[in-house]
């Protein structure tokens, strides 16, 4: 892969050219992450260098309710530039790639006090090749938004970046759903929350050759709360890596993080949950849990909480578990007449349901519960 040639071929709105050039230089300087970098220790992306990736434009479909303004980045570049420039992360290699090739994406805006009647549905479809979609979501004050961001692919490499700016007193529910199989998906989500805002993120991964998600939550105003729910299912030789960071920058903020994983075959997964409580962030209440169900002896999970606390009046808890299907529960179900396979499916499904049930919208919840159920027989058959 000739990164230099790829980056030189970048094209798009002239307003974004300066950003692209700066990111391009940073990326070429750093290259792909090494597994000696702690954040990439279990996720080796260097095979990408062996591939010839052709830059392809993703197909982004938006179904927006009244009260939510959605514009393609190409048409809203003027408005997007200050947002992009102010929050440009020049350290994450794949976010740099996304910025260096910036062209396709959406600017989503919800005005102060708006009351959108339903959710904003975004479907991002990619095929083979390389796609770098960018979503900028600007939520005003005292308003609300439910955003469903859905990735569909049958291969290729997708490096999406989604940035939220959430105003005071607003509520956001964000679902990021990845339906992959043989693809590479390395995505970043960055959320900046002002005073008394509540952002609930549901990150649902149903497999992929290599999936990496970096989530960064910045709690910038007192009374802000972040809820991070995650579910990852992987089997075969799939690999899923979730790295989350919650920056408690000011006092009186809460974070609740609950991630669950189900791994079959020779799948591997990483959970790294960093909670950073800044010196001023007194009365922080941060809770984190990561639970994993391994269906086979060959499945691997690396789970690591990372608490950095520089304030003294805080409540921070974390816990991680790794286990197999409960034999007692399995026997209990079978003793009532449920076949072995059905009993196993019921137990695995109930483990996943603990995350899925947190989705507010009933039809989305039901749909995702079905998606989990549809995924299980294959995973369990492989593990039998």
Partner 1 sequence: MLEIRNLKAGIDGKTILKGIDLTVNAGEVHAIMGPNGSGKSTLAQIIAGREQFEVSSGSVKYDEKDLLELAPEERACAGIFMAFQYPVEIPGVSNSYFLRSALNSQRRARGEQELDAFEFLTFIQERMALLNLHEELLNRPVNEGFSGGEKKRNEIFQMAVLEPQLAVLDETDSGLDIDALRVVASGINSLRREDNATIVVTHYQRLLNYVVPDFVHVLVDGRIVRSGDQQLALDLEEHGYDHIIAQAA
Please, which residue, 83 or 346, has the CB nearer to partner 1?
346
Stretch that binds partner 1, among 35-43, 264-272, 276-284, 331-339 (CB under 8 A): 331-339
Please, which residue, 54 or 326, has the CB nearer to partner 1?
326
- The burial of 139, by beta-carbon neighbours within 10 Å (0-12 exposed, 13-18 middle, 19 or more buried), is given as buried
Nearest CA-CA partner of 100 in 9, 235, 221, 184: 9
CA dist 232 → 65, 123, 325 (Å): 29, 19, 17
- Interface residue with partner 1 among 22, 64, 79, 353 (CB under 8 A) is 353
Q: Does 368 bind partner 1 (CB under 8 A)?
A: no
Q: Does 55 bind partner 1 (CB under 8 A)?
A: no
Name the minimum Å distance from CB 331 to partner 1. Answer: 6
CA dist 121 → 74, 109, 151, 352 (Å): 20, 14, 11, 23
Q: Are the beta carbons of 371 and 349 closer than 8 angstroms? A: no
Stretch that binds partner 1, among 13-21, 193-201, 304-312, 329-337 (CB under 8 A): 329-337
CB atoms within 10 A of CB 342: 12
Stretch that binds partner 1, among 191-199, 286-294, 312-320, 350-358 (CB under 8 A): 350-358
- Counting residues that bind partner 1 (by CB under 8 A) gives 22
Name the minimum Å distance from CB 317 to partner 1. Answer: 19
Residues 216-255 that bind partner 1 (CB under 8 A): none
Name the minimum Å distance from CB 330 to partner 1. Answer: 9
Site of interaction with partner 1 (CB under 8 A): 326, 328-329, 331-340, 342-343, 346-347, 349-351, 353-354
């Amino acid at each position: 892969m000739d990164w230099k040639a790829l980056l030189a071929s970048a094209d798009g709105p002239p307003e974004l050219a300066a950003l692209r050039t700066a990111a391009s230089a940073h990326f070429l300087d750093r290259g792909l992450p090494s597994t000696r970098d702690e954040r990439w220790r279990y996720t080796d992306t260097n095979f990408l260098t062996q591939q010839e990736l052709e830059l392809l434009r993703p197909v982004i479909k938006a179904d927006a309710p009244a009260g939510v303004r959605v514009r393609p980045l190409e048409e809203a570049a003027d408005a997007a530039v200050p947002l992009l420039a102010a929050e440009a992360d020049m350290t994450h290699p794949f976010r740099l790639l996304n910025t260096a090739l910036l062209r396709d994406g959406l600017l989503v805006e919800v005005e102060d006090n708006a009351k959108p009647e339903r959710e904003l549905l975004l479907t991002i479809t990619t095929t083979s090749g390389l796609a770098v979609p960018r979503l900028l979501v600007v939520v005003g004050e005292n308003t609300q938004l439910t955003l469903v961001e859905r990735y569909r692919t049958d291969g290729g490499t997708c490096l999406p970046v989604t940035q939220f700016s959430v105003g005071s007193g607003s509520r956001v529910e964000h679902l990021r759903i990845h339906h992959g199989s043989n693809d590479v998906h390395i995505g970043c989500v960055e959320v900046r929350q002002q005073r008394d805002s509540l952002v609930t993120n549901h990150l649902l991964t149903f497999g992929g050759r290599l999936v990496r998600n970096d989530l960064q939550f910045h709690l910038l105003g007192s009374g802000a709360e972040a809820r991070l729910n995650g579910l990852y299912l992987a089997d075969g030789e799939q690999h899923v890596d979730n790295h989350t960071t919650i920056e408690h920058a000011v006092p009186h903020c809460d974070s609740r993080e609950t991630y669950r994983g189900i791994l079959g075959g020779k799948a591997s997964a990483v959970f790294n949950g960093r909670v950073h409580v800044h010196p001023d962030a007194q009365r922080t209440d941060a809770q984190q849990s990561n639970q994993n169900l391994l269906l086979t002896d060959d499945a691997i999970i690396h789970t690591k909480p990372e608490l950095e606390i520089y304030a003294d009046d805080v409540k921070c808890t974390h816990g991680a578990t790794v286990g197999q299907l409960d034999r007692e529960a399995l026997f209990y179900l079978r003793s009532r007449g449920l076949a072995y396979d059905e009993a196993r499916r019921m137990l695995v499904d109930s483990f996943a349901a603990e995350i899925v049930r947190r989705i507010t919208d009933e039809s989305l919840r039901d749909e995702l519960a079905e998606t989990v159920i549809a995924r299980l027989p294959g995973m369990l058959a492989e593990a039998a």
